[in-house]
Structure 1
Amino acid sequence: MQFTYDLAPQLGTQATIGLVTLQSDETIEHDMRRIFPLDGVAYYVTRVPSGTEVTNDTLAEMEGNLTGAASLFPAPTRFDVVGYGCTSGTSVIGADVVADMVKKGCETKAVTDPLTGLITACQHLGIQRLAVLSPYVAEVNSSLISALGRAGIEVALLGTFNEEREEFAARIAPDSIADAAETLAKQGDFDALFLSCTNLRTLDVIDRIETATGLPVLSSNQVMGWHMARLAGVDPLQRFGRLMR
């Protein structure tokens, strides 16, 4: 027996959002599903090959795979925004190059990333001097500092867990992140704290750190989720930190 059928509209009556995340990332998908509402928002994820160790070389290698990863989204989908989920990768490859590579693989009105989200958040909050907490090694941190400097944002102080292995970065305990950030906040004069890396479990400690330090606290997933929501014209489901209030 053969049946006829009606066609329903595509999902995403309010917005359609895409995420290109790293093969090695264990955190960002979970965080983004907490930030974006489900009602009326279609949310699609694809992954790009990435190294198990984080160096400038392994980050740069992602450039050649970004278009292929974006092309694995459902073909008929037209996105309001696509985010590339790698802070350090963007600082090495360049935000403009990332956007070009993603747009070659899918149709989207806008592309953003944690670095672009951070710069936009700093402009929004009037932040010029940051303290940065990163899980990564010196060469990766240097690329981020340089990228922020080109955007007119000074990194006044850097703290790091000095961890090259992605799987360990993903498992740094939120309490360890909060303790390190609160210690860092006592060391200098700056406008805000930035917790760098989409693999860090930061969302649940942002408010705690802000309360303890009195400073705005930004994190990779928070700033990119905030920027994606603004670009897509949707309100976040949950709000984390002063930026999203």
Structure 2
Amino acid sequence: MTSPAPTVAVGILYPGYSAEDDYPCAETLLGTPAVRLPLVHTEMREDAHRVDALLGIGADDVLAAGVRALQQSGAGPLDSVMWACTSGSFVFGREGAAAQVAALEAVAGVPASSTSFAFVDACARLGVTRVAIGATYPDEVAERFVVFLAGAGIDVLSLSTRGIVTAAEVGTLPPAAVLEFAAAADHADAEAVLLPDTALHTIAQLDALDDRVGKPVLTANQVSIWQGLRLAGADTPRAGLGSLFAHTATGSTSRA
């Protein structure tokens, strides 16, 4: 008799409360082999898509406390840890975001990454170098993501923003609004559309997003989970989670 494949556990550090229910939804959709996504809410000193607030959200002491909470939660052994926050990583710049991940990995004792680097690696997996962005953030924050991607050789052809200040408000956007936002953000020459906010509910409609736009749509919670699985050595094609999860392992990655 063949033994069942072991469960893979990706610890999720998630700031505040907005779209954290995307993660149990993903556990259901991921299927076999089984994946656990134990999640802790890290301290959000201020819920604001503003540079100073985001630097506080992604501070090393905040993430270290999140790792300790995961370790004390009864989640069991972890195979990787993800800082599931895009703006709370790219706002530090590429070098600062890499230092953030290194500090997180040192505390966690397992491979770690952040959503910003997950977007870079997801683009590499799909062979994408030209993108359009649909950002819920204000312009000042969204433009920092453009710079972050440029440092990885990814050309942003268009940037659409909604200027929403709080993650809590982003989490209330209904599925139909998310689909239309992605479609409106597209650019004819873009190879993919990126939706960089883990406060945005997307996991239940990843295939629908791809179908609506007619090309891969990469979302923050999607790439965070994918990156955690990749770092855990469980990077296998899976259906129902968009183009990214359907691809086999090819292309270089950032490692961070």
TM-score (normalizing by structure 1): 0.84
| One of 105, 108, 117 as aligned partner of 1:103 | 105
Aligned partner of 1:65 in structure 2 is 62
Give deviations 1:58-78, integer Å, cap 9, x for gaps.
Answer: 110121311122122225954
> Cα gap change, 1:207/1:73 in structure 2, threshold over 3 Å: closer, same or farther?
closer
Aligned partner of 1:18 in structure 2 is 11
SS of 2:12 mapped into structure 1:
strand
Aligned partner of 2:23 in structure 1 is 29
Aligned partner of 1:214 in structure 2 is 214
1:46, distance to aligned residue in structure 2 (A) = 2.1
Give deviations 1:138-189, integer Å, cap 9, x for gaps.
Answer: 111011111111111111111122100221111111211111221232x442
Q: Which moved more, 1:56-65 or 1:232-241?
A: 232-241
> Cα gap change, 1:140/1:66 in structure 2, threshold over 3 Å: closer, same or farther?
same
Unaligned runs of 5+ in 2: 247-256
| One of 47, 51, 56 as aligned partner of 1:52 | 47
Report the Cα distance in structure 1 between the residues aligned to 2:164 and 2:141, rounded to whole angstroms.
Answer: 11
> Cα gap change, 1:20/1:35 in structure 2, threshold over 3 Å: closer, same or farther?
farther
1:99, distance to aligned residue in structure 2 (A) = 1.6
SS of 2:13 mapped into structure 1:
strand
Report the Cα distance in structure 1 between the residues aligned to 2:150 and 2:101, rounded to whole angstroms.
Answer: 20
- Asked if the contact 1:198–1:221 (Cα under 8 Å) also holds between the matched residues in 2, the reply is yes
Which of these two proteins has the greater Rg computed from alpha carbons?
A: 1
Report the Cα distance in structure 2 between the residues aligned to 1:236 and 1:88, rounded to whole angstroms.
Answer: 28
1:41, distance to aligned residue in structure 2 (A) = 4.3
Report the Cα distance in structure 1 between the residues aligned to 2:149 and 2:40, rounded to whole angstroms.
Answer: 27
- State the percentage of identical aligned residues: 23
- Asked if the contact 1:68–1:105 (Cα under 8 Å) also holds between the matched residues in 2, the reply is no
> Cα gap change, 1:198/1:205 in structure 2, threshold over 3 Å: closer, same or farther?
same
The equivalences for 1:1-245 within 5 A come to: 13-27=6-20, 28-37=22-31, 41-50=35-44, 51-62=46-57, 63=59, 64-74=61-71, 78-93=77-92, 94-108=96-110, 110-185=111-186, 187-234=187-234, 235=236, 239-245=240-246
Report the Cα distance in structure 2 between the residues aligned to 1:155 and 1:86, rounded to whole angstroms.
Answer: 20
1:40, distance to aligned residue in structure 2 (A) = 5.5
- Alignment root-mean-square deviation, CA: 2.4
TM-score (normalizing by structure 2): 0.81
- Asked if the contact 2:193–2:215 (Cα under 8 Å) also holds between the matched residues in 1, the reply is yes
Unaligned runs of 5+ in 1: 1-11
Instruction: Report the number of matched residues.
Output: 232
